[in-house]
Structures are given as C-alpha cells and as structure tokens.
Amino acid sequence: MIWFVSLCFIFVAVTLTLLMSYELRSKCIQLLQSLLPSSRKKIVNAMQFAENMHQAAAPEKLQSHWHLQQWWVLIAGFFLFASILIFAFTRPINSTRIEAEYLKETDPQVYALLNGEILSPPPEVDVTLIHDALVEATRIEQEYLAQHNGSVDASQIEVPITHSHGALDSNMVDRKWDKMNPRYKQRLLMVFKIMKEQYGYELVLLEGYRSPARQNMLAGNPNTTRARSYQSYHQFGLAADVAFKRNGKVVITERDPWAMRGYELYGQVAESVGLTWGGRWKSIKDYGHTEYRMPGLKKTKEMAELLTSEGQVNSNIS
C-alpha cells in the first residue's frame, strides 16, 4: 500500500511538472523522437535474434547453428542455477528443525528419547503471578511457624525466604528459554509434557540461565546456595527452577500438599530422562531445581559462553 501511494505521488508530481513547463515538455518530446528510431532498430534486431534462436533448436540445424545452440545451454543453466538459489534463500528455516539436527549430532540420547519430536517452550510466566506466589508462600510459612511455636501471632513473624525463591521477583532473573542449552532444554520440556499429560501438573519456568553476578549474590546466603559463579549449572544453561500453576495462579511453597506431591513426581520424571533433581540433595533441598550434568563439562567462563550461545543460535533462527 505504501509503495502504491508513493508511485501515485511520483506520477502526479511528474504530470504536473510537464503540464506547467513548456520547455520541459519540448525537451521530453525531442528525446523520445531521437530514441524512437534506435529503439525500433534494437527491437527488430532482438526479434531477429529470437527467430534465429528458435530455428537453431530444430533437429536439421544441429550442425549449422551449433554456436546459437550454446546460448540455449547457457540460458537453461542460468535458470537452473537461479531456481536453486531462489529455493535456498526463500524456503522457510524452522528453528525446531535446526534444533533437531543439532541434538541428533550432539546428544543422540535425548534425540532418541524425543523420537525425533522437538518440543517448543511455553510462554514466559507473568511476573505478577510469581510475586503473588511469593507473598502467598510467605503467608503460609508464617502460619506454619506460628503453629509450631505456640501461640504466636503469625503476622508478627518475619519470614526471610532463604532459598533462591526469595529473589525471583528481581530484574536480574532470566525466565526466557533462549540461553538454555538444547541438551537440557529438550529434556526439561519433555518433563513439562509428561507432568501435564500424565499427572495433570502444569509447570512454569521460574528461572533458567543465571548470570554470574546473580549467582554470587545468591551465594552470599548459605541457606540459598553455596555455589558461586561458574560453579552452578545455571551459568551454562544446563539448570532451571520451576513451580506449578493451579487455577491460573503460580504455586511455589512446599507446604502445600498438592505442590509437594507435584515436586516428588517432578523429581521422578526428571530423573527418568537423565536429569539431576535438587530434592535429592542432603544439605539444601531445592525441590524445583533440576540440572543436566553434561559429561566432560569444564566449568569455565568460555564453556558457559559456548553452551548458552548454542541455545541462542538455535532459538533465533526462524
């Protein structure tokens, strides 16, 4: 539509200019008159060449018009090559197909588990739902402590949420899937699918990739994590924290029996596809955490950049 309007504007401008300028009209007429004879001659020559080309294709002209037949070969080759280029540059490139080829080469195990099916991540969860879930988790924790500490007013108990959930409403949290390495991402998405289809639990991603700065910040609280930057699988795109969604609300607290049962099932399913579940840990249990302990992984900055960039390359191709 914009091109049509632009062309109309140019046409009107040129027409008005010609109507208003006698000198310009005269020059245009003279130019056309000078070009017409030469153009007519070129058209005649082109028609004659086309006729010769047509005659050269006849079987009886194979010997006498071989030099013209070479033009047919060149033209056919040009169109064949052009069609290949057009197909190569205009065919749709699907990020799912690219990721499938990547996994088939780098991680045949998960490719076999998926049976060739590459899963797409769900939409990013609304941050307000996570904030509300944290408020609700704090309220439930206050009530729990009040019940186990005698007749204490629950509202007077300040509950520092000491695990990593406590900072999930920070701007430093990354809830996107693009920096998660496909080796881990597809395993986690398979867990999402099984939990939904077999057990009726809808999972949401609380945090995937975690920057070194945020990791060091969380490591400042020993009740949250003891891993510093590049010691956690989060920096390599090989770990994530999840929660559940029930009736349109995010549920984080382990005090909820329904959620706790979900975390247990989540751990079982995650382990069945080769992931490590944080609920098995002895020191700090992290029920919503899973990670893929990639064989031969070197926990260096360079390796972290490589693995997270692999996820970004595959997700950006569309």
pLDDT given at position 248: 95
Both structure tokens of 120: 């797409």
Q: Among 254, 242, 246, 276, which Cα is nearest to 124's?
A: 242
Question: Closest by alpha carbon to 127, among 161, 170, 159, 160?
Answer: 170
Comparing CA positions, the residue from 279, 303, 101, 103 lying closest to residue 187 is: 103
CA-CA-CA-CA dihedral for 25, 26, 28, 31, to nearest 10: 170
Residues of the chain with confidence (pLDDT) below 50: 93, 95, 152, 154-164, 166, 317-318
Q: What pLDDT score was predicted for residue 144? A: 84
- The pLDDT of residue 66: 53
Q: What is the pLDDT of residue 76?
A: 67
Exposure string (b/e) for 186-219, b if CB count within 10 Å is 16 or more?
bbbbbbbebbeeeeebbbbbbbbbbebebbebbb
Positive or negative torsion for Cα 147, 152, 156, 158: negative
pTM: 0.63
Q: What are phi and psi of 251, to 5 degrees?
A: -120, 120
Task: Report yes or no: 232 and 215 within 8 Å, Cβ to Cβ.
Answer: yes
Q: Are the beta carbons of 249 and 132 closer than 8 angstroms?
A: yes
Helix 301-316 vs helix 95-106: crossing angle, to nearest 10? 140
Q: From residue 119, how far is each of 38, 104, 111, 192, 275 by CA, in Å?
A: 64, 14, 11, 10, 17
CA distance 311 to 304: 11
Pairwise CA distance, residues 137 & 133, whole Å: 6
- Facing residues of 202 across strands? 245
The continuous run of DSSP H or E covering 203 comes out as strand 202-207
